C-alpha cells in the first residue's frame, strides 16, 4: 500500500480522535454539578429550576452526541487503515467499525436519557414544571448507567478490537497495543465510573501517536 493514503488515514484518524476527546471531556466538565443522589429533594428541584444549570446540561448532551459521531468517524478511519495495511484482516476491520459504532450509540442514548429532563424543561417538550426529585434522580441514574456500563463495556470491546486488529501491522507501537488490552480489561469496571476515564485517555494517546506518524510520513515524502 502506498504511504500517501495510509499517511492521510493516520493523520485524519488522529485529528478526529482528538475532536472526540475534546467533546467528550468538555461535555462532561460543562454538564457536571448535579446534586448528590442523597442530597435533599428540594436541592434537586432547585438545581433543575435554574435555567443556567439546564443550559449547561443541554450543552453537555449536545457535546456527547457530537463526540459519539466523532467516535464513529474515528472507527471508520481506523477500520480502513487496518484493511489497507493488511487486506487479510477484513473481519478485524469490520469488528473495529461495529464495536465503535455500538459504543457511540450507547454513549448517545445514555447522554440523551440523562439529559432528557433538562431538554424537556428547556424546550417545553412535555412539561413546564420541574418534576419530582425522585423522577429527576431516576432519569439521571438510568442515563448514567447506560453510558457508563453499556457504553463502557462497548468501549472495552472497541479498545480490545482495535488493539488486536493492529497487532503486528506497525500501525501502533507494541507497548501501546499492550496498554490497549490493559485498558480494555479495566473498562469492564466502568460501572465504578472512574475506569471509564481511561477510554478518552487511551483515545488521546492513540490519536496523538497517529497524528504524529501521519505528519512525520508527510514530512518524509516532502523531503524526497
Q: In this structure, are residues 10 and 166 in contact, taking their beta carbons and an 8 Å threshold?
A: no
pLDDT of residue 208: 95
**36 Rama class: left (phi>0) / alpha (psi -120 to 50) / beta:** beta
What is the DSSP code string of 102-151?
A: HHHHHHHHHHHHHTHHHHHHHHTSS-SS---HHHHHHHHHHHHHIIIIIH
Distance CA 39, CA 13 (A): 42
Q: In this structure, are residues 100 and 176 in contact, taking their beta carbons and an 8 Å threshold?
A: no
Distance CA 148, CA 183 (A): 15
Q: Residue 113, class by beta-carbon neighbours within 10 Å (0-12 exposed, 13-18 middle, 19+ buried)?
A: buried
What is the DSSP code string of 163-217?
A: HHHHTTTTSS-HHHHHHHHHHHHHHTTGGGSGGGGHHHHHHHHHHHHHHHHHHHH
Residue 63 pLDDT more than 90? yes
pLDDT of residue 72: 97
Write the pLDDT tens digit of every residue in 24-37. 999 989 888 888 88
pLDDT of residue 222: 42
Q: Please provide residue 40's backbone torsions phi and psi, each rounded to the nearest 5 degrees.
A: -55, 145
Global pTM?
0.86
Residue indicated by cell numbers 487496518? 82
Confidence category of residue 215, pLDDT binned at 50, 70, 90: low
Write the pLDDT tens digit of every residue in 94-132. 999 999 999 999 999 999 998 888 888 887 665 667 888
pLDDT of residue 130: 81
Write the pLDDT tens digit of every residue in 153-177. 999 999 999 999 988 888 888 999 9
Residue indicated by cell numbers 488522529? 14
pLDDT of residue 207: 95
Residue 84 pLDDT more than 60? yes
Amino acid at each position: 500500500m502506498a504511504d500517501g493514503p495510509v499517511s492521510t488515514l493516520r493523520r485524519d484518524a488522529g485529528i478526529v480522535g482528538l475532536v472526540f476527546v475534546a467533546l467528550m471531556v468538555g461535555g462532561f466538565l460543562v454538564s457536571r454539578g448535579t446534586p448528590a443522589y442523597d442530597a435533599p429533594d428540594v436541592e434537586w428541584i432547585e438545581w433543575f429550576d435554574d435555567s443556567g444549570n439546564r443550559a449547561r446540561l443541554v450543552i453537555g448532551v449536545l457535546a456527547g452526541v457530537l463526540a459519539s459521531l466523532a467516535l464513529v468517524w474515528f472507527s471508520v478511519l481506523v477500520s480502513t487503515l487496518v484493511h489497507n495495511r493488511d487486506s487479510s484482516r477484513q473481519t478485524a476491520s469490520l469488528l473495529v467499525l461495529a464495536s465503535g459504532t455500538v459504543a457511540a450509540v450507547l454513549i448517545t442514548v445514555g447522554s440523551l436519557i440523562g439529559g432528557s429532563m433538562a431538554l424537556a424543561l428547556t424546550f417545553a417538550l412535555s412539561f413546564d414544571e420541574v418534576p419530582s426529585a425522585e423522577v429527576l434522580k431516576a432519569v439521571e441514574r438510568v442515563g448514567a448507567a447506560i453510558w457508563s456500563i453499556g457504553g463502557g463495556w462497548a468501549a472495552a470491546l472497541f479498545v480490545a478490537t482495535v488493539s488486536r486488529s493492529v497487532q503486528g501491522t506497525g500501525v501502533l507501537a507494541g507497548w501501546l497495543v499492550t496498554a490497549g488490552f490493559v485498558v480494555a480489561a479495566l473498562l469492564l469496571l466502568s460501572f465504578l465510573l472512574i475506569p471509564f476515564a481511561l477510554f478518552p485517555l487511551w483515545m488521546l494517546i492513540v490519536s496523538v501517536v497517529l497524528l504524529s506518524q501521519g505528519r512525520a510520513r508527510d514530512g518524509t515524502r516532502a523531503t524526497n
